[in-house]
Chains A and B, each alone.
Chain A
Amino acid sequence: MTVDASRGADAPPELVQLLTPEGERVEHPDYDIDLTPEEVRSLYRDLVLVRRVDLEAVALQRQGELGIWASLLGQEAAQIGSGRALTDADMAFPTYREHGVAWCRDVDPVNLLGLFRGVNHGGWDPAEHNFHLYTIVIGSQTLHAVGYAMGIQRDGANAATIAYFGDGATSQGDVNESFIWASVFNAPIVFFCQNNQWAISEPLEKQTRIPLYRRASGFGFPGIRVDGNDVFACLAVTRQALRNAREGQGPTLIEAFTYRMGAHTTTDDPTRYRVASELEAWKLKDPIERLKAYLFKNELADQAFLDSVEAEAEDLGADLRRRCLEMPDPGPLDIFDHVYTGSHALIAEERAQYAAYLEGFES
């Protein structure tokens, strides 16, 4: 049986779009956005810089400096649009690919590299950035996000959470449980699904036979599909959903319809499972190119601005490379750190034994 789940580059009719792939600003009956020229240029800068961080990380992996990297190429608008919709008080729960959201939460890009370089499993304090650690087990973080949102409810705080996940994760039990929990507790949460069409090699048809955003109605809350390559639409839709959550209207599922232009991770070879023409079609919908076209058409930026952003991106990439290479390796006894908060006899014993063993080689 073949099920058409609307995969591919043709924009499905339900899509919220404010900026066409050609850079034309279009109206939508339910969503609008009013940005100053400076804000538009700032979004462009974000998109370019996170793509540059991603490019550098891929290069670092190719040169053996990272064990693996999960590229965000093609998903910049979904991440910057949603990430810039967050207030400082909102809390984000990422997968392992939300480098653009991390950027919006002021996480130093070099700190994203630690887990991919193998020096740690997560290199930032989530509470400092209101950006949780990367979660690798697919969908687990959606439950943490709902629990956190229940805490916000109990605190009476003016905040919401946003849970990131992909199309593959929508098949996980935890994601479905998180929908149920959020629904029955009316939790202040936005579920932000980046449907990038591929779960490693598995196309969307392996996860669903209806558009993902429509799943929300079965759980009793609104679902919206947004053009995930349109930073304006992602910002507007997420901003509204977060506002609704903070105002006590409960969860929203946003399906950002986008495309993973690169491999799943650097270990993957997409040529084994998808055709080149698909990527070519999506390249025409590139999130950065359309915003650049909009900037030019509306005379909001000149070549000097683009050049300055490009120069900044180059500096960022070079700086990231330098600091990645300078990242110190952990010491062998670091294995025993932070397993427990207090003293733990077994860990203390094993640490002492291993330290003595290592000292045996030094003498």
Chain B
Amino acid sequence: MSILTLSKAINEGLRKAMEDDPKVLIMGEDVGKLGGVFRVTDGLQKDFGEDRVIDTPLAESGIVGTAIGLALRGYRPICEIQFDGFVFPAADQIITQLAKMPLRSLGAIKLPVVVRIPCGGGIGAVEHHSESPEAYFTHTGGLRVVACSNPADAYSMIQQAVRSDDPVIFFEPKRRYWEKAEVDTASTDWWTPFDEASVVRQGTDVTLLAYGPMVKTCLEAATAAQDEGRSLEVIDLRSLNPLDFPKVMESARKTGRVVVVHEAPVYNGFGAELAARITESCFYHLESPVLRVGGFSTPYPPSKLEDHYLPDLDRILEAVDRTFTY
């Protein structure tokens, strides 16, 4: 058992994946000597060499495009996109090639490529460094899209992503990189499959659905609500495509009230899919419409304003209160 930050947990997971399989490569901007701008790949180039931890030219389409070629040759590349807002130059390769090539080949081709994306706001960054682009990728068939929320999951999920024969978009909550928790690196018995959701707090009155950085915020909201006599269940979705519908529906039927929380804009955000699905599947169990808490339909604001943009404990609890007004 080790106490690891989320950043270090991914680092340890990457190290384990590289030790387990010599075909695993890491590629990205500044991932080598520097160890990545968030130090997620710290020390890996030193131990695995420049051929396996590749400092690339500064071109995101090139990173993903050449990763596809390496995968065609039998390698398992892990691409680091330095910041969420920089994934868009790679979006073409991800959407038109990475997601679609296995089907194009009628199953002859497997593309075990992981695209790691530090995501979300809350770190006082400049434009393009605080975005939540998950819905662009959940809307693209052929990709698996996952988001870790804590060090233990980060450690296990990155390894499962690397082992997956499908391309995986792997979101990392950058404002949680420095948060610590115990991680059992000696065993895999405790691993939850990376396409399953986790009930991270049991409750009976309202279900909060979240992923990535918002899981912690929801847990804090649940603690605060308890003081007011409300029992909130918190589900960490972990995987956005596929989505663990059975676990979500079971909770929705139990509580009858659901609030979805994400940093991305509410309008056409991932929460819209959840709200629609829950309504379709659990209509007669619901006591209130499914409510959503998230970012505004604006570009991400300057950091002095991000506290207004990002869902916080109060906005979540306000939505919880509203579920009791129907």
Residues of chain A touching chain B, judged by Cβ–Cβ distance below 8 Å, are: 120-128, 132-133, 135, 137, 140, 142-155, 173-174, 177-178, 180-181, 184, 337-342, 344-347, 349
Contacts and interface: CB of A to CB of B under 8 A. Distances in A.
Contacts of B70: 147-148, 150-151
Given A143-B93, A340-B166, A174 B51 contact: no
A337 B106 CA distance: 8
B103 interface: yes
A153 B106 CA distance: 28
Contacts of B69: 143-151
A174 B93 contact: yes
Contacts of A346: 241-243
A147 B104 contact: no
A181 B166 contact: no
Contacts of B242: 344-347
A126 B109 contact: yes
Contact of B65 (A128, A143, A149, A344): A143
A121 B244 CA distance: 30
B73 A155 contact: yes
Contact of B72 (A122, A144, A173): A144
A147 B93 CA distance: 13
A132 B72 contact: yes
Nearest to B96: A137
A143 B105 CA distance: 18
Given A146-B69, A150-B69, A340-B144, A125 B93 contact: no
A125 B106 CA distance: 8
B57 A184 contact: yes
Interface of B: 51, 56-57, 59, 61-62, 64-75, 77, 89, 92-93, 96-97, 100-110, 141-142, 144, 164-166, 195, 241-245
B68 A341 contact: no
A121 to B, nearest CB: 4
Given A143-B93, A150-B70, A174-B61, A341 B108 contact: no
Q: Considering residues B57, B70, B144, which has the most beta carbons from chain A within 10 angstroms of its beta carbon?
A: B70
Given A140-B96, A340-B144, A340-B166, A178 B65 contact: yes
Contacts of A146: 65-66, 69
B104 A177 contact: no
Nearest to B100: A121
Q: Is the interface of A mostly helix, strand, loop or mixed?
A: helix
Given A127-B108, A338-B102, A177 B68 contact: no
Given A150-B70, A173-B61, A177-B65, A125 B75 contact: no
Contacts of A122: 104-106
A143 B68 contact: yes
B106 A338 contact: yes
Q: Considering residues B68, B93, B105, which has the most beta carbons from chain A within 10 angstroms of its beta carbon?
A: B105
Given A150-B70, A151-B74, A140 B97 contact: yes
A341 B165 contact: yes
Contacts of A133: 101, 104-105, 109
Q: Considering residues A122, A142, A337, which has the most beta carbons from chain B within 10 angstroms of its beta carbon?
A: A122
5 contacts: A123-B106, A125-B105, A142-B65, A177-B65, A345-B244
Nearest to A184: B57
Q: Considering residues B71, B74, B101, which has the most beta carbons from chain A within 10 angstroms of its beta carbon?
A: B101
Contacts of B241: 346
B105 A177 contact: no
B217 to A, nearest CB: 27
A345 B245 contact: yes
B189 to A, nearest CB: 22
A121 B65 contact: no
A53 B109 CA distance: 27
Contacts of B101: 133
Given A177-B57, A177-B61, A340-B166, A147 B68 contact: yes
Contacts of A144: 65-66, 68-69, 72, 97
Given A143-B64, A181-B62, A341-B110, 6 more contacts: A121-B100, A147-B73, A150-B70, A174-B65, A180-B57, A181-B57
Contacts of B109: 126-127, 133
A58 to B, nearest CB: 24
Given A140-B97, A143-B93, A345-B242, A337 B107 contact: yes
B195 A345 contact: yes
Contacts of B89: 173
Given A140-B96, A147-B65, A147-B73, A180 B195 contact: no
A347 B62 CA distance: 30
Contacts of B74: 151
